[in-house]
Amino acid sequence: MTDSTHRSAGIRRSVTALARAALAPVAASALALGGLTAWTAVGAAGSPPRLDVIAARLLLPFNDNEVTAAVFRIRNTGDADDELTGVTSPVMGSAMLTGDSPAREGAARMRMVDAATVPGRGELAMSPYGLDVMVEVREPLREGQEIPFVLHFRDSERIRTMAVVVRPGDWTS
């Protein structure tokens, strides 16, 4: 055998060894990509949040008070959670998410909340006794009046909705 024959045989062995070494990661990647594609195609990968407001109420303030509460029921028909990060209104003053936390036996303390989770395939149901939106009232409100609000979310688009002004005891109707 000549020197060039030995060299050619050595190159072939090197290329073969390199191809064998690359085969396992390439095959594993192709298998994983195929599996993920199939998983997504049949819908098993889940869906992004799909939110809608199914109830919106603004409590009629007591004695011309300048602050009241707004409560919303937000449904998520998607698989992924999202977070309500804020609420605004073009006709009301400032609005902030608030929640009650225990202060001492039989008492609660209101605190600001940065965000509230809207669970995938679930609902966020606010109440004046837990999570709500504290709203500054600019003008007198009347029962039955509709007030526009915009709900802001971490991942989803903003939702514009109308909240009906109700007496405090009627916030669930």
pTM above 0.95, yes or no: no
Which pair of structure tokens corresponds to residue 149?
């609000």
| pLDDT bracket for residue 17 (50, 70, 90) | confident
What is the rounded distance in angstroms from the CA atom of residue 137 to the CA atom of residue 149? 13
How far from 105 is each of 102, 108, 109, 129, CA to CA, in Å?
7, 8, 11, 15
Q: Is the pLDDT of residue 86 over 70?
A: yes
pLDDT for the residue numbered 98: 96
If one compares 169 and 173, the residue with the highest pLDDT of the two is 169
